[in-house]
A and B are shown apart, each in its own frame.
Chain A
Amino acid sequence: MKKFLRTIFLVDLFQGLWVTFRNQNPKYIYTEQYPAERPKVAERYRGAPRLNINPDNGETLCIACNLCALACPETLIVVTSERNEQTRRKELTTFTYDLSRCMFCGLCEDACPVDALELTQDFELATYTREGQIWDRQMLEEGPTPTQYKC
């Protein structure tokens, strides 16, 4: 009998409608207005790579040890270096990073012994050309400059 009455008065449907009604409150809006309102990503976010430079003298921190290139599963990092005859040290000449193949696993930044290569919080990496995805040393040091939209 009770079940019959529940069926007649559509109790189950009103129960569900009550849930949706409770969630109508505007304070439960979770949508982000993305281009105008930029999300704050986590501190450890693995986004665009960056080749750090020493803030004191503007020289690169990279010691051209090639460990990141060896750690990368996709072998998308190419490091070239030449030996400085005066100081007898290896110096970085070029550093290319193919972002189009990168899966942001973070193994390269784990491998870096001097914290030169780092994955940063920049996440807007779209380009108009395929070549634009291949970042050279200058691009890696400066980082991307995405368009900032305002509403």
Chain B
Amino acid sequence: MPETTFLDSTELVLNMGPQHPSTHGVLRVILKLDGEKVMGTECVIGYLHRGVEKIGENRTYQQFAPYVDRMDYVAAVSNGLGYCLAVEKLLNIEAPPRAQVTRVILTELNRIASHLLWLGTHALDIGAITPVFYCFREREEVLKIFENYCGARLTTHAFRIGGLQYELYDGFEEQVKAFCDMFLPKVDEYEELLTNNRIWVARLKGVGILTGDECKEFGVTGPVLRAAGVKWDLRKAQPYSGYEQYDFEIPTGENGDTYDRYMVRMQEMRQAVRIIRQAVEKIPSGPIGKTPKVIKPATGEVYVSIEAPKGELGYFVVSDNSTQPYRVRVRPPSFVNLQALDRMVRGGLVADVVAIIGTLDIVLGEVDR
């Protein structure tokens, strides 16, 4: 063993997680430390692996739909939309307009719910305890809309292949409009609490910088990419489910640090409200689509990706002309974004690791699948 004096510093290996409140689940990060400085990290994932992709091979197309909700469980509606769009593309069918508009409203509401949960827990990690209560209060309103619509709050199973299962309930438009009116002042309230707060700014500004080029190298998508100044949003780049009809902007940041990512997500919530308001005004009448009783697509493969709250969520479905998919591969945004953790953390301080994991907005159900 080499002799060390108190002047030499040796590498200290510290395990963070899997049972650590700020890793947002069961992520284990092995930190290599030099004093307070992080020299390197290694992520250990798989604690929440449930083999969702393998389950998909043993279920029919309709039966697999509830399982995808359980990957990104804070944005279950987006997951369901991605899967339904993939199978619909495989079958060469399209949901009727009424179903498409309803899908847009529910996914945007889910984006708000997901960002609210992110904001609350992220602020809690940094040390601001108040926002989490306010965020959950507003998130409750979104979950009530989901509960009224499809009967479940979190793992909604709201969409079916080929359209919707449930007709809109009476008072849906009013409830959504009331939520939009109530919600925008609340976003201002969160901004009042945090945006100028000196502790918040000091903890976030210049922490975990990821430039646009680095984002592209890692394949990072979603708010993390947009905060680096890259204007890339799949809702604009390759519109699905009728997103081209809506007028909205893609908020971007400049520096690609944690503070910019916070600002981008706050703006995204406002844009989501803008989309919902436009969509509620023009829900067309007509059929909501009928789920085919037996789904047996022709042999082929299809990749469909959507803009989930956390980034690009892709489904790659291979069919072998049977009622069960031959292979379902999911490209989860959290899993890909998590790779960038090492680059963002290296050279920083231990306390910033918590802020950076929070800002990546990972959901471990989706990372491990």
Contacts and interface: CB of A to CB of B under 8 A. Distances in A.
Given A12-B197, A42-B147, A46-B151, A103 B66 contact: yes
B165 A19 contact: no
Interface string B113-148: 000000000000000001000100100100010011
Contacts of A110: 165
A78 interface: no
A36 to B, nearest CB: 19
B157 A106 contact: yes
A67 B59 CA distance: 15
Contacts of A11: 196
Contact of B189 (A19, A30, A103): A19
Given A23-B134, A42-B148, A44-B148, A107 B62 contact: yes
Nearest to A46: B151
B193 A19 contact: yes
Contacts of B70: 103
Interface centre among A20, A30, A42, A107 (most CB of B within 10 A): A42
B150 interface: yes
A17 B290 CA distance: 52
B192 interface: yes
A151 interface: no
Contacts of A73: 59, 63-64, 66-67
A105 B148 contact: no
A20 B66 CA distance: 39
Interface string A76-119: 00000000000000000000000000011111001000000001
A74 to B, nearest CB: 9
Majority secondary structure, B binding face? helix
B66 A16 contact: no
B63 A71 contact: yes
Nearest to B70: A103
A13 B63 contact: no
A72 B62 CA distance: 10
B168 to A, nearest CB: 11
B317 to A, nearest CB: 17
Contacts of A15: 192-193, 196
Interface string B137-174: 10010001001111110010100000001100100000
B63 A107 contact: yes
Given A44-B148, A106-B151, A107-B62, A13 B198 contact: yes
B109 to A, nearest CB: 15
A92 to B, nearest CB: 23
A51 to B, nearest CB: 18
Interface string A50-82: 000000000000000000000111000000000
Contacts of B66: 73, 103, 105, 107
Nearest to B150: A44
A71 B165 CA distance: 15
Contacts of B197: 12-13, 16
A119 B134 contact: no
Interface string B176-197: 0000000000000100111011
A46 B152 contact: yes
A44 B192 contact: no
B293 to A, nearest CB: 9
Contacts of A19: 130, 189, 192-193
10 contacts: A11-B196, A42-B144, A44-B151, A44-B166, A72-B63, A73-B66, A103-B66, A105-B155, A106-B150, A106-B151
Top 8 nearest A-B pairs (CB, nearest first) are A105-B66, A73-B63, A44-B151, A46-B151, A12-B196, A42-B147, A42-B148, A16-B193
